[in-house]
Chain A
Amino acid sequence: MEQPADTSGLRDASPQVAVTVVRTGGFAGLKRTWEATADDPSTVGVWLGFADSLPWGATPREDPRSVDRFVYRIVIAVHSEVRHEKTLPESALTGGWRDLVDRVQQQADGDAGSGQSPAPPH
């Protein structure tokens, strides 16, 4: 059951929101992890609003003939409690999912300032 984007009561703890992306597979089989966190109240609201708008309950599009592609596991945690979790094949990483992963990678790699809000979903 999806929870609504309720950010009330989240302003006294830190970190309030953690978005973790774990990429496995690929030809190399390397596991890489990126994490973005947010503490600023307005940023927390944007992250969660964006995250809650994604189709977490939908079955991802299958790509049965592709091999050696990446697999992405995305976890949204609020106060260390998992709010959303999803595993997606690379072929399904489109639209809002791609925006979310790109943003987390950018923040984790330091290309964007920490605590910045995610790009709006397409």
Chain B
Amino acid sequence: MIHSIVPPYLLEKIAQTDDGRMVRAARSARRALLARDSVLDARATAGAEANRTGPDSEVPHGGSPSVAATVKRRDGGTLAESAAGAVAATPTPSRTIFDAHNTEQLPGTRVRTEGSDATSDVTVTEAYDGLGATFELYERAFGRNSIDGKGLPLLATVHYGKDYDNAYWDGQRMVFGDGDGEIFGRFTASVSVIGHELSHGVTQFTAGLEYQGQSGALNESYSDVMGALVEQFQKKQSAGEASWLIGEGLFTAAVQGKALRSMISPGTAYDDDMLGKDPQPADMAHYVDTTDDNGGVHLNSGIPNRAFALAAIEIGGFAWETAGQVWYDTITGPLASDVDFATFARAKVAAATARFGSGSAETKAVRAGWLKVGVLEDGAAG
């Protein structure tokens, strides 16, 4: 049973406050409410799945730790005290890893569930740990319980396809290829990739940004931002210490490149004889108009990526507490699914203002980032 010294209506009131002096309290209240909701959902889920079994079921069966285990704390306790003074459950992940055995059949064979021992397969371990690291960033930094905010189980399939040079989100699960061994190694090797893919799920459950043109590039950028933040959170790196690289370590040694993308310096991640030069633009003057890749979603994402990294470095400290929080507030706030860069930039400035105040260093840095990349112009930055 969950006990809270603060009644739910008061938590909701605190959670909704826009008083700049109560930022931490509001955040804590939201976390407490989310934790309460996750437990309620867990109870409903546990009841509905009490008799559900099957070795290859996509949702962990009732015998394994799952959403129903959200009342347990990571350290084995049962309750956690929020910073607001409320006592509430801390959500925990419910991870299941499948192995496609180098076929394209999903979900594959279940090889690891929440709480079970690591296998000898490093790919499975990386996927499991990466899911956990991503869950932890969302839960601790933003008070979000999994992808949907309600403790959704996290599913991933590894060893997908033969020499498959990709990782993707299919709307329900993350899918990882092993790479061809010539250009790419396994896609689980970088936690930024795992954070990126899971964050596509968060976008799916929040803003639902259309995967085309500028809204698609924002969809990609949000995933890159969160992928980078998962890595920074794991390493406890400040914005100034971070590499701002996405997919570091995925290329084999044969490729002349350090990563797939550079958020702080788009267009410089690789320059290889066979692959050519990283084609990402760093500002609107070099925006790429193309019909390829759903309107260049993986190219033009370099522009909002750089705006974010510039803001985070300007603010300093841990990016998930400042610029990252603003990105998260924006994606979970009112936003059209086909939003363009300029409208999104104004929404981010508004989100920064709501959380940190109009004259704050955070809001100034967010605005300056968008100005620097040419999305906003002086006098139009909100």
Q: CB within 8 Å of B: which residues of A?
A: 22, 24-31, 64-71, 73, 87
Query: How many residue pairs, one in A and one in B, have C-beta atoms under 8 Å apart?
Result: 74
Q: Identify 10 new A-B residue pairs, CB closer than 8 A, beyond the known A28-B184, A66-B169.
A: A26-B168, A27-B247, A27-B260, A28-B166, A28-B298, A29-B279, A64-B211, A66-B168, A68-B166, A87-B291
Q: Which residues of chain A have C-beta atoms less than 8 A from B168's C-beta?
A: 26-27, 66-69
Name the prevailing secondary structure of the B interface residues.
Answer: loop
Q: Which residues of chain B have C-beta atoms less than 8 A from A87's C-beta?
A: 291
State the Cβ distance, B381 to closest chain A Cβ, in Å: 29
State the Cβ distance, B202 to closest chain A Cβ, in Å: 12
> Contacting A25 at CB < 8 Å: which of B172, B200, B250, B293?
B293
Q: Which residue in chain B gives the minimum CB-CB distance to A25?
A: B293
Contact A30 B275 (CB under 8 A): yes
Contact A29 B166 (CB under 8 A): no
Pull 24 A–B residue pairs with CB atoms less than 8 Å apart, ordered by A.
A25-B297, A26-B168, A26-B298, A27-B167, A27-B168, A27-B197, A27-B247, A28-B166, A28-B247, A28-B250, A29-B261, A29-B279, A29-B293, A29-B297, A30-B260, A30-B275, A64-B211, A66-B168, A66-B170, A67-B223, A68-B167, A68-B169, A69-B168, A71-B293
* Complex Cα spacing A78 to B59, Å: 51
* Complex Cα spacing A28 to B298, Å: 8
Contact B298 A29 (CB under 8 A): yes
Contact A25 B294 (CB under 8 A): yes
Contact A67 B219 (CB under 8 A): yes
> Contacting A22 at CB < 8 Å: which of B219, B250, B292?
B292
Contact B292 A24 (CB under 8 A): yes
* Complex Cα spacing A66 to B172, Å: 9
Q: Which residues of chain A have C-beta atoms less than 8 A from B298's C-beta?
A: 25-29
Q: CB within 8 Å of A: which residues of B?
A: 165-172, 184, 187, 193, 196-197, 200, 204, 211, 219-220, 223, 247, 250, 260-261, 275, 279-280, 291-294, 297-299
Which residue, of A22, A65, A73, has the highest number of chain B Cβ atoms within 10 A? A65
Contact B166 A70 (CB under 8 A): yes
* Complex Cα spacing A25 to B211, Å: 11
> Contacting B200 at CB < 8 Å: which of A26, A67, A70, A71?
A67
State the Cβ distance, B198 to closest chain A Cβ, in Å: 11
> Contacting B170 at CB < 8 Å: which of A25, A65, A70?
A65
* Complex Cα spacing A24 to B294, Å: 9
Q: Which residues of chain B have C-beta atoms less than 8 A from A65's C-beta?
A: 170-172, 204
Contact B247 A71 (CB under 8 A): no
Q: Which residues of chain A have C-beta atoms less than 8 A from B220's C-beta?
A: 67
* Complex Cα spacing A67 to B279, Å: 20
Q: Which residues of chain B have C-beta atoms less than 8 A from A28's C-beta?
A: 165-166, 184, 247, 250, 260, 298
